Amino acid sequence: MTTAPVADLPSAFAAAPDLDAVNALLPQAGVGPGWAKPKPSVYPQPHKVFVPAHWRAAETRSALDSAARYVDTHMSERRNLILVNPHEGNDYATARTLVAAYQLVLAGETARSHRHSPNALRLVLDAAPGACTIVDGVRVPMEPGDVLLTPNWAWHGHDNGASADAFWIDFLDVPFIHLIEPMFFEQYPDWIEPAGEPNPESPYRFAFSQTGPAVRAAAETRQGERWLELGPPHMTTIGLALRHLSAGSVLHDPRTTMNAIYAVLEGSGELTAEGRSFPFARGDVLVVPAWTPADWIARGEATLLRVSDEPMLRALGLLRSETPA
């Protein structure tokens, strides 16, 4: 039921003969009836939209190699493939608060320096000596398995001075920044930020030569499972941890409000979530959205990087996990 525009809304509300007449006037006051919401605004547990999914490194690397014939870093600052969660209506995010992308920088190529509000990081899959990310004027070397941070508003660009192409996975909290809206972006005045000799001891680099042995030597959290948190430094919106699965281990993860993206550093196995099975191998990416239980099987020893929104949820008092049965 609608009503013609009225000049004196208070009088119209006072004269309304029934609730239908009140409801019909509400849009003119710019409000909606809390007693007749079109859909619930609160509910007993999360309404899931994002779905578990899997991306194969072999397929994406092949696609990037092909695209590199036509797309250079002057045409697009980042030659990357975005891992779009396949839920209806989505065109960007991998999980509610996070996005991941595969990126390729060719041998001898540079990718322009810039900075932005979102926190970002990358997991190196393939790189040869001479490949670097420049972070705030410091040249940070890249080696396979390394995790490199580019925090909020830090200048960063890529310089692949190696004789081989560099291939990695980017992770950013762009979907979260889109949600709360403080997005800022700035290109470096010149193409690439100047930097000196590579600094392998940069605090923004977690070298797999160190973190790999450390996670394998960590105490078991459950039979067949070990964890290693990466930090400091830490990012306020993104949590990083290595997860090591022993050969033959079978693990169940209960539901949690945390969104998690996993990237496989080494090994193989299978993830099952919401009735779908995803066999994974080195370089693959898997997403386990919030409130999704997950079952893992390691075919052999496997090490994965988990990128999550855990620290943000914890700080806001919104981190909750289901108690295992």
Indicate which CATH number applies to the domain containing 302: 2.60.120.10
Cα(228)–Cα(239) distance, rounded to whole angstroms?
A: 11
Share of the chain above pLDDT 90, in %: 95
Share of the chain above pLDDT 70, in %: 98
Shared domain for 72 and 186, answered yes or no, is yes
Structural domain contains residue 65: yes
Q: Half-sphere exposure (CA, 13 Å, Cβ side) for 225?
A: 13
**DSSP assignments along 214-256, one per residue:** HHHHSPEEETTEEEEE--SS--SS-EEEEEEE-TT-EEEEPPB
Cα(135)–Cα(73) distance, rounded to whole angstroms?
A: 18
pLDDT of residue 4: 78
What global pTM score does this model have?
0.95
Structural domain contains residue 47: no
Please give the residue that has the higher pLDDT: either 269 or 2. 269
Picking from 177, 206, 235, the residue at the C-terminal end of a domain is 206
Distances (CA, A) of 164 to 22, 49, 53, 59, 148: 70, 40, 30, 19, 19
Shared domain for 79 and 197, answered yes or no, is yes
Cα(206)–Cα(211) distance, rounded to whole angstroms?
A: 7
Shared domain for 196 and 97, answered yes or no, is yes
Shared domain for 60 and 188, answered yes or no, is yes
For the stretch 219-254, pLDDT in tens is 999 999 999 999 999 999 999 999 999 999 999 999
pLDDT of residue 2: 59
Structural domain contains residue 109: yes
Q: Is 269 helix (H, G, I), strand (E, B) or coil?
A: strand
For the stretch 20-41, pLDDT in tens is 999 999 999 999 999 999 899 9
Shared domain for 179 and 237, answered yes or no, is no
For the stretch 119-139, pLDDT in tens is 999 999 999 999 999 999 999
Per-residue buried b or exposed e for 245-277, using 16+ beta carbons within 10 Å of the residue's own CB:
bbeebebebebbbbbbbbbbbbbbbebebeeee
Type of residue numbered 37? K
pLDDT of residue 324: 63
pLDDT of residue 323: 78
Shared domain for 27 and 115, answered yes or no, is no
Shared domain for 94 and 230, answered yes or no, is no
pLDDT of residue 294: 98
For the stretch 151-195, pLDDT in tens is 999 999 999 999 999 999 999 999 999 999 999 999 999 999 999
Written as six digits, the tokens of 216 are: 């394998």
Q: Per-residue confidence at 1, pLDDT binned at 50, 70, 90?
A: low
Answer for the pair 106, 165: CB distance below 8 angstroms, yes or no.
yes
Shared domain for 19 and 103, answered yes or no, is no
Structural domain contains residue 48: no
Answer for the pair 295, 153: CB distance below 8 angstroms, yes or no.
no
Residues linked to residue 297 through DSSP beta bridges, in sequence order: 250, 270
Written as six digits, the tokens of 288 are: 């386990």
Shared domain for 106 and 185, answered yes or no, is yes
Structural domain contains residue 7: yes
Cα(88)–Cα(290) distance, rounded to whole angstroms?
A: 17
* Terminal C-alpha separation, the chain: 50
Structural domain contains residue 50: no
Query: Is the pLDDT assigned to residue 325 strictly greater than 60?
Result: no
Shared domain for 75 and 111, answered yes or no, is yes
Please give the residue range of the domain that contains residue 19.
Answer: 1-42
Over the chain, what is the mean pLDDT?
96
Overall number of domains in the chain: 3
Structural domain contains residue 51: no
Shared domain for 218 and 270, answered yes or no, is yes
Shared domain for 79 and 37, answered yes or no, is no
- Within 10 A of 114 (CB to CB), how many other CB atoms are there? 16
For the stretch 250-286, pLDDT in tens is 999 999 999 999 999 999 999 999 999 999 999 999 9
Structural domain contains residue 90: yes
Q: Per-residue confidence at 146, pLDDT binned at 50, 70, 90?
A: very high
